[in-house]
C-alpha cells in the first residue's frame, strides 16, 4: 500500500508556482470532473485514422 503524502495548501501553491511536480500529492484514481455528466462514446464519435 502506498503511503499518502500530505502537504499544506500554502506549500503546495508555492511548489506549483515554482514549477515543481506536485502530482504526487493527488490521488488520481479518485479524480473526477465536477458538474459534467458522463457521456457514452459510440464508434461514430471516434475519428478514424486516414490511410497514408
Report helix, strand or coil for 45: helix
- Residue 15's contacts (CB-CB under 8 Å, 6 or more residues apart) are 7, 22
- 28: which 3 cell numbers? 488520481
Task: Look at residue 39 in the predicted model and tell me its pLDDT.
Answer: 77
User: DSSP alpha helices (H): ranges in 1-52?
Assistant: 9-17
Task: Look at residue 15 in the predicted model and tell me its pLDDT.
Answer: 94
Domain boundaries, the chain: 1-25
Task: Give the pLDDT confidence of 1-52 residue by residue, as tens digits.
Answer: 455 678 899 999 999 999 999 988 888 888 888 888 877 877 777 777 766 6
Task: Look at residue 33 in the predicted model and tell me its pLDDT.
Answer: 81
- Tell me which residue has cell 458522463: 38
Amino acid at each position: 500500500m502506498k503511503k499518502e503524502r500530505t502537504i499544506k495548501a500554502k506549500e503546495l501553491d508555492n511548489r506549483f508556482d515554482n514549477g515543481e511536480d506536485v502530482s504526487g500529492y493527488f490521488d488520481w484514481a479518485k479524480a473526477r470532473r465536477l458538474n459534467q455528466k458522463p457521456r457514452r462514446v459510440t464508434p461514430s464519435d471516434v475519428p478514424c485514422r486516414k490511410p497514408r
